[in-house]
Amino acid sequence: MNHIFPVLLIVCTAAVQAQPAIQWQKCYGGTSTEKAFAMQPTTDGGYVLTGYTESWDGDVTMNHGLYDLWVVKVDSVGDLQWQRSLGGTRYDRAAAIQQTSDGGYIVAGITDSNDGDVSGNHSTNQYDAWVVKLNASGGIQWQKCLGGTNGDQAEDISQTTDGGYLLAGITMSLDGDASGGHGLQDGWLVKLGATGNIEWQKCLGGTNGDWVNSVLQTSDGGYIATGTTQSNDGDVFGGHGDNDAWVVKLDATGNIQWQKCLGGTGSEQAYSTLQTSDGGYILVGTASSNDWDVSGNHGSGDCWVVKLDGAGNMQWQKCLGGTDADFALAVQQATDGGYLVAGQVGSSDGDASGHHGMVDGWLVKLDDLGALEWQRCLGGSGLEALQDIEQITDGVYVVAGQTGSHDGDVSGVHGPNYEDFWLVKLGLADLGIEDPQPLDFSLAPNPAHTEVHVRSAVPIARLELVDPAGRRMSTMLSPKANSALDVSTLTNGLYIAHVVLVDGRTITETVMVAH
């Protein structure tokens, strides 16, 4: 009898990607809680961070009340240059900061104070959106409370080409500065002049809850706003489930040009977006569905990355994570055309390896089509989140968020049981690192009958075999040094082996099975 054996042809198709190493990390705060929600490189080579502080000691001075909006300016190596606590006797928090064309800063968040640095609050019991313009050394130039008698808040702000600002957030008000509301809660856009005067405002949504987390001016002079919707009427149509990620394109005066609901029958949210070099858009958030617009979900909630063209049509989407809850909070296009995603990872399986504790900060590099190139879990045994990411040069990155750990990647936390602002610089080129460990990896034998043996000098975190349509055919988690991959049930054709090593490097192999 003639025996016909499958032939397995293995060709290396991509270079090994090395995950970046930590160059330095710094913690800022006092003995109570600090959380940083935004960071930006500054024109002098340093960085500015903002969020809130509950402390009255350590790096924090002149706290006004329960919580203050906190701005921290550091130099190129993370050393503190100045800090400002801003607010009144109640709760004040920042969500966004941007260096302005005059060298100062625009900061946006919420306040329910009406004293100290705050004036003009519209309600005694609810939040207003709060915008503060600072000079280059952190001194207040002007401040503006925006809202009505119900709760209002700012989640993002950016300077526009005319020298003014566009604020994005949430309004529950139907009076004061807000008009045209649709229901329970609307996404809210407010266009301000250079000194904070309102030029126009727009309520976006339907009869249920809607909000906007991110806004930026687009190359055509209009705006792209991203957030979440629970509605399927008013400005919203095409909803899929409980919560959809929501993208709205507006012209220069706030008129809607198009909108898209993205998601499935579960819950999806979008936290950040940017316009890409091809004129499209990339957005990140979280997805719990595994139908409609969402595929490849790993567990209870994944980091979700969605690429749209210029008209809002989906080009590709990617679920990243494992069996626990994972969130993508920020995105930036990398210098090679791919994407950097920062967020929070509770998983220690699936796409995540090198996990330190309860919840880690997570940094992920994707290529321009969404394929995972490398990932890095950052943190210790406590709670971490990465809220912002910037690529400084090729292979050099800075991430910011908060940490509550005293071990692992973290040192210098000020409070024994609370969180600090956390700033981390990572890179390869500055450290002279090109390949952390010589690569010794193989899939053999060739030809193969029923299985392929996997050998690697560096331990493997995950091996996944997919077909050309991206469908997962088999997965091995933490295989031993000489594990075997079953190919006996595969049909003839090409397959892709995606291998993630425990040091963060990835290998992509093309596999041909011919029976």
pLDDT for 117-146, tens place per residue?
999 999 888 999 999 999 999 999 999 999
Q: Give one DSSP letter per residue of 328-368, joined into a string.
A: EEEEEE-TTS-EEEEEEE--SSTT--S--SSBEEEEEEE-T
d(CA 237, CA 239): 6
Residue 243 burial (CB count, 10 A) = 25
Which CATH superfamily hosts domain 7-14+437-514? Macroglobulin (MG2) domain (2.60.40.1930)
Residue with tokens 């933490």: 478
Whose CA is closest to 476, among 496, 462, 458, 489?
462
416 prior amide bond cis, ω within 30: no
E strands, 102-255, in order: 105-111, 128-134, 140-146, 152-159, 165-171, 186-192, 198-204, 210-217, 223-229, 244-250
Q: Is the pLDDT of residue 226 over 60?
A: yes
Q: Rg (Cα) of the chain, in Å, rounded? A: 24
Contact 455, 444 (CB under 8 A): yes
Q: Average model confidence (pLDDT) for the chain?
A: 89
In terms of DSSP bridges, do strands 372-378 and 360-366 run parallel, antiparallel, or are they unpaired? antiparallel
Contact 453, 463 (CB under 8 A): no
Contact 248, 225 (CB under 8 A): yes
pLDDT for 343-361, tens place per residue?
999 999 999 999 998 999 9
Residues with Cβ within 8 Å of 459's Cβ and at least 6 positions away in sequence, in order, are 478, 481, 501, 502
Residues with Cβ within 8 Å of 107's Cβ and at least 6 positions away in sequence, in order, are 50, 69, 71, 86, 94, 96, 97, 131, 132, 133, 134, 157
d(CA 27, CA 408): 14
Q: Reading across the β-sheet that carries 140-146, which strands appear in turn?
A: 92-99, 105-111, 128-134, 140-146
In this prediction, residue 168 carries a pLDDT of: 98
Backbone angles phi, psi at 430, to 5 degrees: -65, -20
pTM attached to this predicted model: 0.82
**How many Å separate Cα 411 from the centre of its chain?**
23
pLDDT for 200-213, tens place per residue?
999 999 999 999 99
In this prediction, residue 328 carries a pLDDT of: 98
CA distances from 55 to 106, 119, 400, 474 (A): 23, 23, 19, 50
More confident residue, 486 or 334: 334
Residue 489 burial class via C-beta count within 10 angstroms: exposed 0-12, middle 13-18, buried 19 and up: exposed
Q: Which residues sit opposite 272 in a β-bridge?
A: 284
In this prediction, residue 241 carries a pLDDT of: 86
